[in-house]
Amino acid sequence: MTKKTIRLLMPQWQGGNNPNYSFGAELLAWLAPDNDQPLIHVPVQAYDGTPLENENGMNGRNQLLDQLKSAHHIIDAHKPDRIVMFGGDCLVEQAPFAYLNERYGGELGLIWIDAHSDLVNYVGYDNGHALPLGNLLGIGDEEFVKHVKVPLKPENVFIAGLATPTEQETEVVSEAFQRLGIAPTEQDTEVIQRLGIKTAGTKELTNSMESIKAWIKESGIKHLAIHLDLDVLDPKAFRSLLFANPEAPYHFSPAGTMQMLQLLNLLKGLSEEADVVGLGITEHMPWDSINLKKLLGEIPILNK
């Protein structure tokens, strides 16, 4: 039987409170290979210059919830077997992966390829993209967790490429967070240990993905979803990342160190180990294209 696959373009920016994520998502969908999979646009409220309201500790909470519901309505209407998601910020992953876990009887495996865990909230850092994995596990934001009918099992989650800050980076981040009044409610490492989630850093995965293979085998995972936050990549090698802003490098969190070829080999290897039924690609920040778009928008002959 042929399995039904849909592609979703969800140019959500409110979860990271950065309008440029919308353009990054649209460019991702354009860059992806053409095939007969339908591309469906999830409606997202466009940035109109108005700052997001902080609603109960989250910027743009109501917009994010409305967009989450829209994604669920579209997915439920199509009832796909497989979903590809082009985002936007990381929070776009909640609807497709929650659906897929329910679709596959609560036994979905999820590999979270990301420099950050997206598990814990930070008091004072009120962007929703910090919590999608926590929401999917049923331990995140209460209003978002309500939309996860079947939470993922912690033993069915693997975090790959998690950045480990150096002592110097930790000091810089701590000082920056203190200035901004940001403090972790619980360290992500504590949550990972408490839940028993398996992890592997980029260095460990450089020569072998045996730890991931063992996890798939031990957990009996047959159907796998892959979250790919592009910030797992080394910003010196791949410049289309928030951390690689040429005008204002982002120093509040450790950046990824994975190289493009290593990421490709990892994704191909995962496809050989299990039936990949979900793929989400997020947080694309194409600085050169963004800056060129701004420049073109200012050229008189192009605006007559």
- Tens of pLDDT, residue by residue over 171-198, are 444 554 455 454 454 567 888 999 999 9
> Taking all residues of the chain, what is their mean pLDDT, rounded to a whole number?
91
Domains present along the chain, CATH in parentheses: 5-303 (3.40.800.10)
Are the C-beta atoms of residues 68 and 147 closer than 8 Å to each other? Answer: yes
**Total residues belonging to the chain:** 304
How far apart, in whole angstroms, are the C-alpha atoms of residue 153 and residue 137? 7
Given a cut of 80, is residue 149 above it in pLDDT? yes
Share of the chain above pLDDT 70, in %: 90
Mean pLDDT, residues 23-43: 97
State the residue for tokens 């934001």: 141
How far apart, in whole angstroms, are the C-alpha atoms of residue 28 and residue 140? 28
Give pLDDT, residue 248: 76
Given a cut of 50, is residue 168 above it in pLDDT? no
State the residue for tokens 């409110």: 14
First to last CA, the chain: 53
Record the pTM. Answer: 0.92
Partner residues linked to 41 by β-bridges: 9
Q: Locate all alpha helices (DSSP H) within the chain, ordered by sequence.
A: 20-31, 61-78, 94-103, 132-136, 142-145, 167-180, 188-195, 202-205, 210-219, 260-273, 287-298
Mean pLDDT, residues 284-301: 96
- Tens of pLDDT, residue by residue over 61-90, are 999 999 999 999 999 999 999 999 999 999
State the residue for tokens 């998601």: 85
Give pLDDT, residue 180: 45
How far apart, in whole angstroms, are the C-alpha atoms of residue 132 and residue 66? 16
Given a cut of 70, is residue 251 above it in pLDDT? no
How far apart, in whole angstroms, are the C-alpha atoms of residue 23 and residue 288? 12
Given a cut of 60, is residue 8 above it in pLDDT? yes
Higher pLDDT, 256 or 123: 256
Give pLDDT, residue 210: 96
